[in-house]
Amino acid sequence: MTVTLHVCTTCKAAEAVADGEPLLGARLHAALLAGEVPEGLRIVGVACLSACNSGAAVALSAPGRWSYVYGRLTEADAPDILLGAAAYLDAPDGIVPWRARPAIFRKQSLARIPPLEITNV
C-alpha cells in the first residue's frame, strides 16, 4: 500500500511574503520532506489544492480509501501531519480511530471524499 500526501506548495494563507522568500506552502512541503517520513508515504507537491481560503492545505489519499483534506496548517505542524499519515497508512482501511488522530486532523478537516467503487476503476 502506498499512501500519497499531496501538499499545496503555493498556499500563503494571509501571510505577507517578501519577493524571493518561500511561500508558507513551500515551507510546509520542505518541512514534511525533512521529517520522519514513514515507509510507504509518498509526499507530492502540488501547485494548488483550491483550498485557498483555508491554506496551507494537504490531502491524504490511497487507492480504495477515503481521501482527507486538512487546512490552516503551518510548517510547525509537519511532525503531526506525518504521524497522522503514518496512522492512515497503518489502518487496514485507512479509517483511523478518532482519538488516534492528531488534533490538527480532528479540528482542521476541510473535507473527506469516499473511495470510488472498484467497479468504476
Q: Which residue ranges make up the site for a second copy (CB under 8 A)?
A: 2, 4, 6, 44, 46, 48-52, 54, 57, 59, 61-63, 67-69, 71, 109-114, 116, 120-121
Query: What would you report as the CA-atom Rg of the chain, rounded to the nearest whole angstrom?
Result: 14
Residue (of 63, 64, 32) closest to 45 by Cα position:
32
* Distance of closest approach, residue 82 Cβ to a second copy, in angstroms: 19
Nearer to a second copy, 67 or 74 (CB): 67
Backbone angles phi, psi at 46, to 5 degrees: -135, 140
The residue whose grid cell reads 472498484 is 118
* Distance of closest approach, residue 61 Cβ to a second copy, in angstroms: 6
Nearer to a second copy, 19 or 117 (CB): 117
* Distance of closest approach, residue 27 Cβ to a second copy, in angstroms: 20
CA 60-66-67 angle, 5° bins: 30
* Distance of closest approach, residue 18 Cβ to a second copy, in angstroms: 28
- Strands (E) in 11-108, as ranges, are 41-46, 58-61, 67-70
Q: How many CB atoms lie within 10 A of CB 76?
A: 10
Nearer to a second copy, 24 or 51 (CB): 51
Nearer to a second copy, 20 or 104 (CB): 104
C-alpha cell at 9: 506548495
